[in-house]
């Protein structure tokens, strides 16, 4: 599960242990949308902490600012100091949970967020955080339970709509997910994440023209998002612009080398163009993801065979038969490869191969 680019922070961190927050008094923000000057905030907080080193709320506020700036290690230090000084005040635990979540440590963030909730900290931001953490664990019922709690406190919060859509999409209800992504955009038209998810769902349904405006707007906001570039490639392909599609897929894997679908499409394209070695490089990277996909196994076997890797090609066809026993056409390839592997190499060919090795 990827780590979302949203940073769930409360712009004004109130450290009352039982502070029910209305939607108008808090806001989860995207780093790109922070309007306050973090440097000015940081300078003021540094001075305040120098004058009052025992005030845990100041460390919590500075942790939030450092989190906005992406200085996660420093943010964690301040969050831990806030927790220590406030004696596990739930709002301090919530701040620390947010920092850990941003650091890609959801297993550590979850118990802190739950402790904050048990200690009567009621906050739409906390419930959204809990929803996202359970979403990462694929515990969709718990994720929905918390997003509904968030919606009770903040009925028209765009982040609530967005995460509700995420849970619905993960649960297989794409129609409701689309509705909630659109509701999120009604509240915040520049909100990139629902634009990205909407584009992906619509492209998956073949509604390319409807998806394209969302996709282009999201790319404008986040030009380094690999998923967006992959979907841009799909739209280019639908428009019969293969060269542009390949550029988009290459852009996607240059940002995130683990984007399997883009590697797969690049491998298929390179194989069709006769670039067998390049095709093999892309296809081998995604074996774990597609090893039970018959079309993929045939494609990779073809790339191996064209590169003279007959044993590997044979292994792919044998796996194909295990995955799909009805794929009896693979038997001809297996017989052909076994013959090539067993056939003795002519003396002249052996000499040429030895000369190539010695070079």
Strand partners, 161: none
CA dist., res. 286 & res. 60, Å (int): 42
CA dist., res. 70 & res. 178, Å (int): 30
- Asked which of 119, 141, 176 is the last residue of a domain, the reply is 119
Q: Which of 211, 215, 175 is nearest to 192 (CA)?
A: 215
User: Would you say residue 157 lies in a domain?
Assistant: no
Where are the alpha helices (H) located in the chain, listed in sequence order?
A: 38-51, 56-69, 72-85, 90-102, 106-118, 124-136, 140-153, 158-170, 174-187, 192-204, 208-221, 226-238, 242-255, 260-272, 276-285, 287-290, 294-306, 310-323, 330-342, 347-358
User: Would you say residue 211 lies in a domain?
Assistant: no
**Nearest-10 Cα torsion for 78, 84, 89, 93:** 50
- Asked which of 119, 152, 177 is the last residue of a domain, the reply is 119
How many Cβ atoms sit within 10 Å of the Cβ of residue 215? Answer: 23
Q: Which residues are CB-contacts of 332 (< 8 A; sequence separation ≥ 6)?
A: none
User: Would you say residue 172 lies in a domain?
Assistant: no
What pLDDT score was predicted for residue 244?
Answer: 97
Query: How many structural domains compose the chain?
Result: 2
Contact 165, 194 (CB under 8 A): yes
Phi, psi of 26, rounded to the nearest 5 degrees? -150, 160
Strand partners, 36: none
User: Would you say residue 67 lies in a domain?
Assistant: yes
Q: How buried is residue 277: exposed, middle or buried, by Cβ count under 10 Å (0-12/13-18/19+)?
A: exposed
Range of the domain at 100: 39-119
What pLDDT score was predicted for residue 88?
Answer: 85
What pLDDT score was predicted for residue 63?
Answer: 95
Q: Is 66 left (phi over 0), alpha (psi -120 to 50) or beta?
A: alpha
Tokens of 87: 């004696």
What pLDDT score was predicted for residue 7?
Answer: 54
DSSP structure class, residue 31: G
Contact 9, 31 (CB under 8 A): no
Chain centroid, CA 12 distance in Å: 28
DSSP structure class, residue 5: S
Residues in the chain with pLDDT < 50?
Answer: 1-5, 9-35, 350-351, 353, 357
User: Would you say residue 354 lies in a domain?
Assistant: yes
Contact 324, 292 (CB under 8 A): no
What pLDDT score was predicted for residue 40?
Answer: 85
User: Would you say residue 309 lies in a domain?
Assistant: yes
What pLDDT score was predicted for residue 348?
Answer: 53
What pLDDT score was predicted for residue 271?
Answer: 94
What pLDDT score was predicted for residue 21?
Answer: 36
Contact 353, 345 (CB under 8 A): yes
User: Would you say residue 352 lies in a domain?
Assistant: yes
CA dist., res. 15 & res. 184, Å (int): 28
Phi, psi of 7, rounded to the nearest 5 degrees? -115, 115
User: Would you say residue 156 lies in a domain?
Assistant: no
What pLDDT score was predicted for residue 5?
Answer: 43
Dmax over Cα atoms in the chain, in whole Å?
87
- Asked which of 119, 142, 157 is the last residue of a domain, the reply is 119
């Amino acid at each position: 599960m990827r780590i979302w680019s949203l940073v769930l922070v409360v712009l004004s961190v109130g450290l009352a242990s039982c502070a029910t927050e209305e939607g108008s008094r808090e806001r989860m923000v995207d780093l790109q949308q922070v309007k306050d000057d973090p440097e000015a905030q940081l300078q003021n907080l540094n001075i305040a902490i120098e004058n009052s080193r025992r005030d845990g709320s100041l460390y919590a506020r500075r942790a939030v600012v450092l989190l906005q700036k992406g200085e996660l290690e420093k943010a964690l230090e301040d969050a831990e100091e806030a927790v220590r000084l406030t004696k596990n005040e739930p709002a301090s635990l919530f701040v620390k949970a947010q920092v850990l979540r941003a650091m890609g440590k959801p297993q550590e963030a979850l118990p802190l967020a739950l402790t904050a909730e048990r200690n009567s900290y009621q906050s739409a931001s906390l419930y959204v955080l809990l929803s996202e953490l359970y979403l990462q664990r694929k515990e969709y019922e718990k994720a929905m339970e918390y997003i509904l709690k968030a919606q009770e406190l903040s009925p028209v919060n765009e982040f609530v709509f967005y995460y509700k859509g995420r849970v619905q999409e993960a649960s297989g209800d794409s129609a409701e997910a689309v509705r909630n992504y659109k509701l999120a955009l009604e509240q915040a038209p520049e909100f990139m994440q629902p634009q990205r998810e909407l584009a992906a769902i619509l492209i998956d349904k073949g509604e390319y023209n409807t998806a394209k405006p969302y996709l282009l707007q999201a790319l404008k906001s986040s030009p380094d998002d690999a998923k967006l570039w992959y979907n841009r490639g799909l739209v280019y392909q639908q428009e019969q612009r293969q060269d542009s599609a390949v550029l988009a897929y290459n852009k996607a894997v240059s940002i995130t080398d683990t984007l399997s679908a883009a590697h797969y499409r690049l491998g298929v394209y390179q194989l069709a163009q006769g670039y067998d070695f390049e095709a093999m490089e892309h296809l081998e990277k995604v074996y774990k993801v597609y090893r039970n996909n018959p079309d993929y196994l045939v494609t990779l076997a073809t790339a191996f065979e064209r590169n003279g890797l007959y044993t590997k090609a044979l292994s792919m066809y044998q796996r194909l038969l295990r995955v799909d026993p009805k794929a009896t056409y693979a038997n001809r390839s297996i017989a052909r490869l076994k013959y090539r592997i067993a056939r003795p190499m002519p003396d002249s060919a052996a000499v040429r191969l030895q000369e190539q090795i010695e070079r």
